A and B are shown apart, each in its own frame.
Chain A
Amino acid sequence: MAKTLFQKVWEAHTVRKLPNGQTQLFIGTHLIHEVTSPQAFGMLRDLGLKVKYPHRTFATVDHIVPTNELKEPYSDPIAQEMIEALRKNTKDYGIRFFDTTTGTQGIVHMVGPEQGITQPGTTIACGDSHTATHGAFGAIAFGIGTTQVRDVLATQTLALSPLKVRRIEVNGKLAPGVYAKDVILHIIRVLGVNGGIGYAYEYAGTTFDGFSLEERMTVCNMSIEGGARCGYVNPDQKTFDYIKGKPYAPKAADWDAAVARWASFASDAGCQYDDVKVFKAEDIRPTVTWGITPGQAVFIDEKMPALETLNAADRQTAEDAYAHMKLAPNTPIKGTKVDVCFLGSCTNGRISDLREVAKYLKGRKVSPSVKAIVVPGSQLTAIQAVHEGLDKIYIEAGFEWRGAGCSMCLAMNPDKLVGDQLCASSSNRNFKGRQGSQTGRTVLMSPLMVAAAAITGQVTDAREVFTV
């Protein structure tokens, strides 16, 4: 019988059926970070349990790391306590830790792929909802709670129920100036922020075939914003090429066998999906959010929705959103004044993002009214970018060049909005208070749109600022 990748991976990792009807699923790779793991280690100690398969867990530190302060102790004693707790836990239990001193630290969803730990046909869990990022490699990867982190540490398994699979096909070529970020913002806008509840998303079609692994990661990353716990792209030659030579990639004699195994996990032709949605790449334009959920988005040249056009439930959230964002219904978002520009995060803090923007940034200047920061998602990315001289281009343009971490994606480190500042952001969430100020405002967009906003000081169509 023809099967989806989801079904094949699920079956290969099924240990047994549990008394409550759920599946005991084996977790091939477990990633942990400093925010959601300390309590899990605490529970482990309380129960007198050990880490069962320590070589299958990998740790890094990302959320609390200050990006402008390299020396420890950090000025925030709680951040220091959290990093030290992770050092102790990984040392006590023999877990590989990509610490800040190793040159390999970074956002957890960047470290896995960079190290070749993220591989097709695997199950990957992490106490972080953006774990779906790893699905770009054809893995079933999803976020879990802290008690479940304990479960994986103690047993390398989880109690789960299978998901339905929705195939989301995007076909055709994106117009210049339209990016993977616009594709996922558009999908979420159309299918809704809770449209994916109960589903795994399989992203497919010629647009995805043409995407690099980094572009696929950008899309898979935001599956959770569409309500889907995981999202994946079937593995292909591009996937294998990306992994080849990475530190944890299979070596020499093992390589061919691994590739054959990985390829066998791809969805079979003629397999059944629980749902299919089809999009045309040509219909997608640069997209920005205007509200407080990632689904509240418009094309840059559209007006924000008039309240009368919305149904009762959407209308209530929209009213709340307009009040928070200090924006008016039925007006263009283009031209809205921007205070801060953030280029980074596990959605768009990769080397390809930094290169793409740098290409256009040469010779341009950030508006004096804007504070702009660029934060490579990982140390390896930062090192590569410096090697290519990208840091100079950003600094000359007026961006602050920072160290690796989550930075202004969320309010757990010193990078925060102040008051009701409006931030043009390449991250993934525009929730109230997400960027560290209760009244702060976030407009999500692609990296090049962030750069355009930085230069003009306004929410801008990048295609009018740069020759794309």
Chain B
Amino acid sequence: MSLAKITQVKALALAVPGDDIDTDRIIPARFLRCVTFDGLGEHAFRDERTGPDGKERPHPMNSAQAARIAAAKKGVMVVGFNFGCGSSREHAPQSIWRFGFTALVGGSFAEIFFGNSTTLGVPCVTLSKEDLAECDAFVRANPDVEVTVDVAQLTVSAGAKTWKASIAASARDGLVNGKWDPIADLLEGAEPVAKTAAGLAYVAGK
């Protein structure tokens, strides 16, 4: 399985502010009633975007900028802290990715969300609190300027600005080497796996 090496994502950006944005807000549970991930993109942030009356609410995901990103099928989402907390549902990063976002920049990410995104080839990098505020302000003020998330150099830059970014070393390694989906590596280990399994006597089968 050969995967693209993801060293850099350069795209238009959208700020979706707020801390502790949970996965129920990213993709409401009723859209989990499905057996494929197809079609999840259009429901990303559904209940934040549409009121109970069915009318559109003011939300960044309803903006013209969001529509441009959806059309281009690439984009950078700038979020707050503890983004993606809550459930393990991969439906959350799947919906963001299928909507068109190919990288996220935030203050911190919930672990399972981070892992799920990485496995999709969507880097989630973090900035310091001050830098994130600056990046967020820049993105709002300059919707036409592309933002570059450089996974190899560990920077986020836009216009004349460059901020220092972080990402877990293993995720960075996987992305830049085109090994962000671990399945090939895991399958390769079949022999040592069998050995480990043989040494673990538990769960009496019936």
**A interface residues with partner B (beta carbon < 8 Å):** 12-16, 18-22, 24, 26, 28-29, 35-36, 38-39, 42, 47, 49, 52-53, 55-56, 63-64, 76, 78-79, 81-82, 85, 96, 117, 119, 121-122, 127-129, 131, 143-148, 150-151, 154-159, 161, 193-194, 197-198, 224, 227, 229, 247-251, 254, 258, 261, 293, 313, 316-317, 320, 410-412, 419, 429, 431-434, 436-439
Contact = CB atoms under 8 A, between A and B. Distances in A.
Given A154-B187, A161-B168, A438-B47, A145 B116 contact: yes
25 contacts: A20-B174, A20-B179, A21-B169, A21-B173, A47-B1, A55-B205, A78-B33, A127-B90, A129-B87, A143-B88, A145-B93, A145-B112, A145-B115, A148-B116, A154-B187, A155-B187, A156-B197, A157-B193, A161-B170, A193-B20, A248-B205, A293-B22, A411-B29, A437-B52, A438-B52
B112 A144 contact: yes
B33 A79 contact: yes
Contacts of B91: 146
B24 interface: yes
A229 B112 contact: yes
B33 A64 contact: yes
Interface stretch (B34-42, B63-71, B146-154, B155-163): B34-42
A22 B36 contact: no
Contacts of A146: 37, 89-91, 116
Contacts of B28: 411, 433, 438
B53 to A, nearest CB: 10
Contacts of B8: none
Interface in B174-199: 174, 177, 179, 181-183, 185-187, 189-190, 192-193, 195-197, 199
Nearest to A146: B90
A354 to B, nearest CB: 25
Interface in B108-133: 108, 110-112, 115-116, 119-120
Contacts of A317: 18-20
Given A64-B33, A411-B30, A432 B181 contact: no
B141 interface: no
Contacts of B33: 64, 76, 78-79, 82, 412
Contact of A82 (B25, B35, B90, B115): B35
Given A154-B183, A193-B85, A194-B20, A254 B29 contact: no
B51 interface: yes
A12 B200 contact: yes
Contact of B204 (A193, A254, A419, A437): A254
A29 B182 contact: no
B206 interface: yes
A154 B116 CA distance: 17
B30 A320 contact: no
A263 to B, nearest CB: 14
Contacts of B82: 193-194, 197, 227
Contacts of B101: none
Contacts of A258: 202
A412 B32 contact: yes
